[in-house]
Structure 1
Amino acid sequence: MIFISVLITLVMIGGVAYLLTNKYNPQAVLLFSGLLMMVFALLLGLNLPTMKQNTGLPFFDLFAMTKEVLADKGAKVGLMIMTIGGFVAYMRHIGASDALVYVCIKPLKLMRKTPYFAASCVIPIGQFLFMCTPSATGLGLLLMASIYPVLVRLGISKVSAVSVITACTVFDMGPASANTAQASHQVEMEAVQYFLHHQLPLTIPMTIILMIVYFFINRFYDTKQGLRDEVELVDGEDFTVSAPLYYAFLPVMPLVLLMIFSPTFKLFDPPITLDTTTAMLICTITGMSLELIRKKNLKDIMGSMKIFWEGMGKVFASVVTLIVCAQMFSKGLISLGFIDNLVNASQSLGLGFEGVSILMTVMIFLASMLMGSGNASFFSFGPLVPHIAAQLGGNKVGMILSMQLASSMGRATSPIAGVIIATSELAGISSFDLAKRNLIPLVVGLISMFILKTVF
């Protein structure tokens, strides 16, 4: 029985990876594979994951479980992610995202004599922007319009310039990140606490390591491949913004509010707490108010609220549904005994919790590379972490953190990832060349993460 369930599990995981790599709809692939695995579990006489209320018929339970997951995820982490999507869409609409980028890139123009150092400095600047604009492809395109011309004018190759731009998206972090929302939800922790106490202490030294590695890797390959002699200066006007520069504070405002009114700091007595969804709504209304003061057209400003709702809808259709379907996929794995078999195999090999954590992290890194999506890989296997930690007695926060960061790092090494394709096409380079340029630094980053986790 165990052999059959393991065989079915491996075949299903392989089939899912193949379909996702070949650009099949990820929601459909994860949902139907999860349901199919639960059907196999029923045929093998295994139990389905527990539900709040059974229908009395196992076949109906499959769909009732889907309804429960949709209701749970849609009302909690899903609503949070949708408001983030609406806020990001509105900030882009009023030009606040452009204003923030414009303010952040000004110091780079002062580093004309040190082009590769300037390129490495893009990484922490871009990572900060990524926390405020949590869309890898969206931020990549924004940086291609703003920072990319600056970098190539400083004298580095196109592939080096695009590599550091995509490196800005390798850590999905901050309270506004969908992956952070999902990870903190799985370990039952407040998003700000997870960000401040776990993400930042690990990603700050990792960012410094990536800056150093990208500095030497880009300079080495530009020289070796003769790209420094073939640098083509990008013509055109400097990046400009239509919005006032003080709008640059708006995308940062949710992060500031969440930190000020977080129970982590305990700045107020009695305590005042603010959740991510509420903060996004406050900042969106603040943006609308500033637009009303600036443009003095009430009808247009009220009509612009549609941008916020449409942004929420797009995120529901893409991210929230992916979370729901990935949860069903993980339930399918659990029903076939994936966790029990993984735990038994690791114990027989003497791996222990840390060994399983490294195994799962590497698996997610490779899955993101194959799928071209950090969300798809992390949302698929992230829900398994609490169950694995419960059986092996390890630190579930540390495990899910390494898996979460590995998913976004793997995405930047995938030639089929949206951010890699979009930025490479704009620069006129091969997405495979860009993915190869990112591979060494991010493998170093992955190894560094395992080492740093023993310290933090």
Structure 2
Amino acid sequence: MTFISVIITLLMIGAVAYLLTNKYNPQAVLLSSGVLMMVIALLLGMQLPTLKSSTGLPFFDLFAMIKEVLADKGAKVGLMIMTIGGFVAYMRHIGASDALVFVCTKPLKYMRKTPYFAASCVIPIGQFLFMCTPSATGLGLLLMASIYPVLVQLGISRISAVSVITACTVFDMGPASANTAQASYQIGMDAVQYFLHHQLPLTIPLTIILMLLYFFVNRYYDQKDNLTKEVVENESKEFTVDAPLYYAFLPVMPLVLLMIFSKTFKFFEPPITLDTTTAMLICTATGMVLEGVRKRNLKDTMGSMKIFWEGMGKVFASVVTLIVCAQIFSKGLISLGFIDNLVTGSQNMGLGFEGVSILMTIMIFLASMLMGSGNASFFSFGPLVPTIAAQLGGNKVGMILSMQLASSMGRATSPIAGVIIATAELAGISSFDLAKRNLIPLVVGLISMFALKTVF
């Protein structure tokens, strides 16, 4: 029975990877494959994951499980992610995101004598922007409009300029990130605490390593392929911002509030704490007030609230539903004994918890490359972490952190990822060439992450 379940599990994972690679709807693929695995588990006489309230009939329980997951995720992590989506949409609507990018990237224009160093400096700047604007494709397009022409004018190639822009999205982190929300939820930790105590200590040295890697890799290939000082039509177009520059603070405001009013710093007695959802609502209201004062049009200002609700709806349709369907997929894997077989197999091979953690991290990195989506791969396998950690007695925080970062790193090496396709198309280069340029720095970065985890 174990052999049969292992074969079926591997076939299902392979089928899911194939379908997602060929651009089938990820929600439909994950949901249907998860339900199918649970049906097969029932036919094999295996047990389904426990329901809070069983219907009394296994067939009905399959749909009751979907209802329970939707109610749980939608009311908790789902609501948080939706308010983040609404906030990001509203910031984009009023021009605050453009103002932040303009302010942060302006100093790079003064680094004309060190073009490859200037390009490497885009990475930490962009990573900060990514925490405030947690959309890989959205940020990529913003940076293509603002900093890409500057980098090309400094004398580096188009592919090198785009490579550092996409590198800004390789660490999906910060309280406003959907992956952070999912990871912190799975390990039962506050998102701000997870960000400050676990993400930052690991990603700061990793960012420095990536800056060095991109500096040498881009300079080497530009010289090798004679790509320096390319003349590109329309690259001198100036990036303009319609919103006041003080709007640049608005996208950063949730991050500031969450750190000031967090359990970590304890600035106030008695303690005052904010959760991510509340912070996003406060900052959206602040943006609306500023827009009302600036435009002095009450009807338009109040009407702009529609942008926030639409942003929430879009994120529900794309991200929250993906989390729900991925949770069903993971329950299907559990039903077929995936975790038990993984634990038994790793023990037979002499792998401890760290070995399994590395194996899962590499698997997610490769899955992101195949799927072109960091969310799809992480949401699919992230929910397995607490159970694996409980069975092997390891540190679930370290495991889920490496898996989470690997998912966004793998996305930047995928020629079918949205951010890679969009930025490559604007620059007039091949998405496959761009993915290959990112491959060396990010594979070395992945190895460096394993080494740094032993320190942090």
Considering the TM-score relative to the shorter chain, is it more than 0.5? Answer: yes
Aligned equivalents of 1:192 and 1:231: distance in 2?
A: 45
Matches for 1:368-447 after TM superposition, within 5 Å? 368-447=368-447
Backbone CA RMSD of aligned residues = 0.7
| Structure-2 residue corresponding to 1:91 | 91
| Structure-2 residue corresponding to 1:124 | 124
Q: Against the structure 1 CA distance between its residues 240 and 340, is the aligned structure 2 distance closer, same or farther, given a 3 Å change threshold?
A: same
Aligned equivalents of 2:309 and 2:236: distance in 1?
A: 35
Answer yes or no: is the 8 Å Cα contact 1:101–1:146 preserved in 2. Answer: yes
| Structure-1 residue corresponding to 2:305 | 305
Aligned equivalents of 2:230 and 2:39: distance in 1?
A: 58
Aligned equivalents of 1:201 and 1:184: distance in 2?
A: 16
Aligned equivalents of 2:89 and 2:225: distance in 1?
A: 40
| Structure-1 residue corresponding to 2:59 | 59
| Structure-2 residue corresponding to 1:190 | 190
Answer yes or no: is the 8 Å Cα contact 2:42–2:48 preserved in 1. Answer: yes
Matches for 1:278-317 after TM superposition, within 5 Å? 278-317=278-317
Aligned equivalents of 1:429 and 1:86: distance in 2?
A: 33
Instruction: Tell me the amino acid that sits aligned with residue 119 of structure 1.
Output: A
- 2:147 partner SS: helix
- Kindly provide the CA deviation profile for residues 356-408 of structure 1, in whole angstroms up to 9, marking residues without a partner as x: 00000000000000000000000000000000000000000000000000000
| Structure-2 residue corresponding to 1:10 | 10
| Structure-2 residue corresponding to 1:32 | 32
Question: What percentage of residue pairs aligned between the two structures are identical?
Answer: 87
Instruction: Tell me the amino acid that sits aligned with residue 157 of structure 1.
Output: S
Instruction: Tell me the amino acid that sits aligned with residue 160 of structure 2.
Output: S
| Structure-2 residue corresponding to 1:259 | 259
Instruction: State the 1:236 CA deviation.
Output: 4.0
Instruction: State the 1:77 CA deviation.
Output: 0.1
Answer yes or no: is the 8 Å Cα contact 1:49–1:334 preserved in 2. Answer: yes
- Structure 1 gap ranges (5+): none
- Kindly provide the CA deviation profile for residues 28-80 of structure 1, in whole angstroms up to 9, marking residues without a partner as x: 00000000000000000000001100000000000000000000000000000
Aligned equivalents of 1:368 and 1:401: distance in 2?
A: 15
Answer yes or no: is the 8 Å Cα contact 1:187–1:397 preserved in 2. Answer: yes
Correspondence 1:75 to 2:71: no
Answer yes or no: is the 8 Å Cα contact 1:155–1:231 preserved in 2. Answer: no
- Kindly provide the CA deviation profile for residues 323-376 of structure 1, in whole angstroms up to 9, marking residues without a partner as x: 000000000000000000000000000001000000000000000000000000
Instruction: State the 1:235 CA deviation.
Output: 3.7
Answer yes or no: is the 8 Å Cα contact 2:17–2:370 preserved in 1. Answer: yes
Aligned equivalents of 2:173 and 2:277: distance in 1?
A: 16
Aligned equivalents of 1:40 and 1:11: distance in 2?
A: 13
Instruction: Tell me the amino acid that sits aligned with residue 330 of structure 2.
Output: S
| Structure-1 residue corresponding to 2:100 | 100
Aligned equivalents of 2:287 and 2:361: distance in 1?
A: 39
Aligned equivalents of 1:2 and 1:163: distance in 2?
A: 45
Answer yes or no: is the 8 Å Cα contact 2:150–2:236 preserved in 1. Answer: no
Instruction: State the 1:233 CA deviation.
Output: 6.4
Aligned equivalents of 1:5 and 1:33: distance in 2?
A: 14
Instruction: State the 1:228 CA deviation.
Output: 1.1
- 1:327 partner SS: helix
Aligned equivalents of 2:391 and 2:254: distance in 1?
A: 37
Aligned equivalents of 1:39 and 1:232: distance in 2?
A: 56
Instruction: State the 1:238 CA deviation.
Output: 1.3
Q: Against the structure 1 CA distance between its residues 263 and 290, is the aligned structure 2 distance closer, same or farther, given a 3 Å change threshold?
A: same
- 1:251 partner SS: helix
Deviates more, 1:229-238 or 1:85-94: 229-238
Correspondence 1:140 to 2:140: yes
Instruction: Tell me the amino acid that sits aligned with residue 423 of structure 1.
Output: T
Aligned equivalents of 1:106 and 1:438: distance in 2?
A: 25
- Kindly provide the CA deviation profile for residues 91-121 of structure 1, in whole angstroms up to 9, marking residues without a partner as x: 0000000000000011101100100000000
Instruction: Tell me the amino acid that sits aligned with residue 74 of structure 1.
Output: G
Answer yes or no: is the 8 Å Cα contact 1:152–1:233 preserved in 2. Answer: no
Matches for 1:179-258 after TM superposition, within 5 Å? 179-228=179-228, 230-232=230-232, 234-258=234-258
* Structure 1 ranges of 4+ moved more than 2 A: 229-237
Answer yes or no: is the 8 Å Cα contact 1:134–1:176 preserved in 2. Answer: yes
Instruction: Tell me the amino acid that sits aligned with residue 255 of structure 2.
Output: L
| Structure-1 residue corresponding to 2:320 | 320
- 1:48 partner SS: coil
| Structure-2 residue corresponding to 1:354 | 354
Answer yes or no: is the 8 Å Cα contact 1:98–1:241 preserved in 2. Answer: yes
Aligned equivalents of 2:230 and 2:86: distance in 1?
A: 42
Instruction: Tell me the amino acid that sits aligned with residue 24 of structure 1.
Output: Y
Instruction: State the 1:229 CA deviation.
Output: 5.0
Answer yes or no: is the 8 Å Cα contact 2:69–2:324 preserved in 1. Answer: yes
| Structure-2 residue corresponding to 1:150 | 150
Instruction: State the 1:231 CA deviation.
Output: 4.4
Instruction: State the 1:237 CA deviation.
Output: 3.0
Aligned equivalents of 1:229 and 1:245: distance in 2?
A: 32
Aligned equivalents of 1:289 and 1:85: distance in 2?
A: 19
Instruction: State the 1:163 CA deviation.
Output: 0.1
Instruction: Tell me the amino acid that sits aligned with residue 252 of structure 2.
Output: V
Answer yes or no: is the 8 Å Cα contact 1:171–1:409 preserved in 2. Answer: yes
Answer yes or no: is the 8 Å Cα contact 1:153–1:233 preserved in 2. Answer: no
> Structure 1-normalised TM-score?
0.99
Count residues in correspondence. 456
Aligned equivalents of 1:298 and 1:427: distance in 2?
A: 41
- Kindly provide the CA deviation profile for residues 301-320 of structure 1, in whole angstroms up to 9, marking residues without a partner as x: 00000000000000000000
- 1:200 partner SS: helix
Aligned equivalents of 2:224 and 2:340: distance in 1?
A: 50
Instruction: State the 1:232 CA deviation.
Output: 3.1
Aligned equivalents of 1:392 and 1:276: distance in 2?
A: 32
- 1:253 partner SS: helix
